[in-house]
Structure 1
Amino acid sequence: MRTSNGAIPRAFRARLGARTAVARKRSRHRDRFLNDGFARNPIGLRLYYRILGDTGPTLLVPAACWLQEDLEPLARGRRVVFFDRSGRGRSDAIPAGVPVTFASEFEDIDSVRAHLGLDVFSLMGWSYMGLVAGLYAADHPDIVERLLLVGATSMRYFGPTPVLPPELERELDESLRRQRERIDADALKRLEAERAAGGWRDGVAFCREHRRLSGPRQFGRPEAMLRTKADPCALPNEWPTALASLMQQIYASLGATWDLSDRVRRVRAPTLVVHGLEDLVLPNAARLWGTLIEDARVLWLAGVGHFPWLEDPATFFPAVDAFLRGRWPDGAGRVTQAY
């Protein structure tokens, strides 16, 4: 819901806050809930997992704290194992000085896999964990049966001020314009200034307000935020300062620039790339995944941002279900060109 100039109406932001509060209080449907618990990674950090669904093929999904409630429909006819990687959600925080690398990400996946006795599984990756999932699938072709990438981060980055092809420059400019339109930047700056000045000592309350103000920029359809059941702000690992620090570590480990295309080309699992055309992760990232992976199809979702299961559930869930059952969903096609 936007005004004629693209801004998010104040009344909508207020309604979002009220709906989020109600969602936190309402009881959860746990009819398909099996169990939850903790695995441990090689350095002893606890990794939270939660299992939903019936017996059947297994789908492994990182980012439990964001996805486990909103992706419950995927647990029909299969078992879905959600987990939080170290430093996220209900898993243990990463101690200072412990490096975060792709190797440590893979160790977290392998620790959950070993703890639950998973020989083979399909793997989903969303956002940055899409990059992790893609590289894990490349290195573990006998383990990952099918690969689902949703709004996945690109495997290429050429620095903060690269010389871009004109097509990609236009995509970036359009993305930045949408970001500016969809949030009240002044309100967000005031909130952060108040926090820096010693206000908002309640980390949960600050996180929820920060998410309410900043969240719409990640959506093509900001009103879809009302559908979310997740409340990651209840967990200190997901507070803005903690999350920013962790992501800084992650990207620092990759270096000033990176190009992991050669590794991605080794993916052998059938791969469905789902990408909203209004995602802040530029559509070219999806084009790259689609061109580099031999057996990949891309499903484009018009008017959708970074949360397709909330913004277009009528397309997202049937498409993912079809793919996990072994067929390409309607609308998914090959991509032959990327920039």
Structure 2
Amino acid sequence: MKMLLALLALSAPVAAQTPMPVIPPTGYVEVADVNLAYWVYGQPSKATPVFAVNGGPGLSHIYMVQNDVWLQIARHRQVVFYDQRGTGRSPLKHADAAMRMDAQVADLDAVRAALHLDKIDLCGDSYGGFLVTAYTAAHPEHVDKLIISDGVVGWKSIVHLFPQVFPDKLEAQEASMRASTANDEEKAQQGLRDHFSMIFYSREKLDYYMSHAKDLGNSPATGQAVQAATEDLDLMPALPKFSVPTLVITGRYDMNVAPLTAWRIYKAIPGAKFEVFEESGHLPSYEEPEKYVRVINAFLGKE
């Protein structure tokens, strides 16, 4: 009987995850280089709003809304997304716009100020963890609580396991790119999808995600510019000075930003909390959505 139950569990279909509805931006915040598009979900309440800051760099927030995790969190507090400069609905006004981290931090602060919010919570996913860490270092007075979700605090401190775990896939992908007759933009978009193929724990959830996420909001030129502008920035030395309550999240099988990265961040921040998602890769919000909502709500608190 136990064997039968195990087989049934293995053959069970992946539970459908419904993407959040595609809606127009709630508004725009004009800064020197870009008009920043932002989205607000949920009703005003006593709870501190949380900014869900996406990764990349070079991606829009669209990859984060492929299920209703953030809609569930928005039942208890307002959730704010924005597209970072040069991505999604926030195209640059001119090609030589700054991509340094200080410009990115100023953008986030401009959205906060435009919404008349003195205090915000921050949840940075992947590269978004880098950005919210930089913001917290620059503006601790505006941060109530901080979440770093499979995030980074500098490119050189990442423990990245793709070469050790996926040597066959990487070689096949490189060979496919060399043989491809696609243009550079098409190759970049395919390269991103190849990248996503290695960041999930569950093959079934990977297939379901990729079959429904037709547009990942990728701007390759922006991603390259941000990486070049931030390649030498390391925020690890700043972490011991943090005093805001912090939660560090990692997927146990995250080969893109391995759990050792999260562990080192957690150890560096006084009083931080650490949460491992045992059946997730780089996107625990998608692979273990019920637990993700529960963990986020418990940390941020519900009014």
Report the TM-score when normalising by structure 1. 0.70
Residue matched to 1:177? 164
- Per the TM alignment, residue 178 of structure 1 is displaced from its structure 2 partner at its CA by 2.6
Alpha-carbon shift at residue 80 of structure 1 (Å): 0.3
CA distance in 1 between partners of 2:19 and 2:145 (Å): 33
Contact residue 123 and residue 148 of structure 2 kept, 8 A? yes
- After superposition, the C-alpha distances for 1:241-272 in whole angstroms (9 at most, x for unaligned) are x32x33332232234x4532232222221111
Higher relative contact order (CA 8 A, sep 6+): 2
Match of 1:262 in 2: 237
Counterparts in 2 of 1:21-170, with a 5 A limit? 29=21, 36-41=26-31, 43-56=32-45, 57=47, 58-63=49-54, 64-70=61-67, 71-93=70-92, 95-155=94-154, 157=156
Deviations 1:265-300 (A, max 9, x none): 222211111101221112222122111111211111
Q: Residue 142 of structure 1: SS of its match in structure 2?
A: helix
Distance apart, 1:35 and its partner CA: 6.3
Aligned counterpart, 2:7: none
| Rounded Cα–Cα distance in structure 2 between residues aligned with 1:28 and 1:260 | 33
- The residue aligned with 1:164 is none
**Partner Cα distance (1:191, 1:316) in 2:** 35
> 1:214 and 1:314 mapped to 2: Cα distance?
25
Matched to 1:119, the amino acid is D
- For 2:301 and 2:52, locate their aligned partners in 1 and report how far apart those are by CA, in whole Å: 16
Identity across the alignment (%): 23
Paired residue for 2:5?
Answer: none
Work out the CA distance in 2 between the residues paired with 1:141 and 1:78: 21
Of the three residues 175, 180, 186, the one matched with 2:172 is 186
Aligned equivalents of 2:165 and 2:62: distance in 1?
27
Residues 126 and 150 of structure 1 are in contact (CA less than 8 Å); yes or no, is this contact kept in structure 2? yes
Name the residue aligned to 2:278. 302
TM-score, length basis structure 2: 0.78
Distance 1:86 1:51, change over 3 A: same
Partner of 2:201: 220
The question of whether the paired residues in 2 share the 8 Å contact of 1:274 and 1:301 is answered with yes
Taking only aligned residues, the RMSD between alpha carbons, in angstroms, comes to: 3.5
Whole-Å Cα distance in 1 between the matches of residues 193 and 113 of structure 2? Answer: 38
Mark the runs of 5 or more structure 2 residues left unpaired by the alignment.
1-13, 55-60
Give the match's secondary structure for 1:122.
Answer: strand
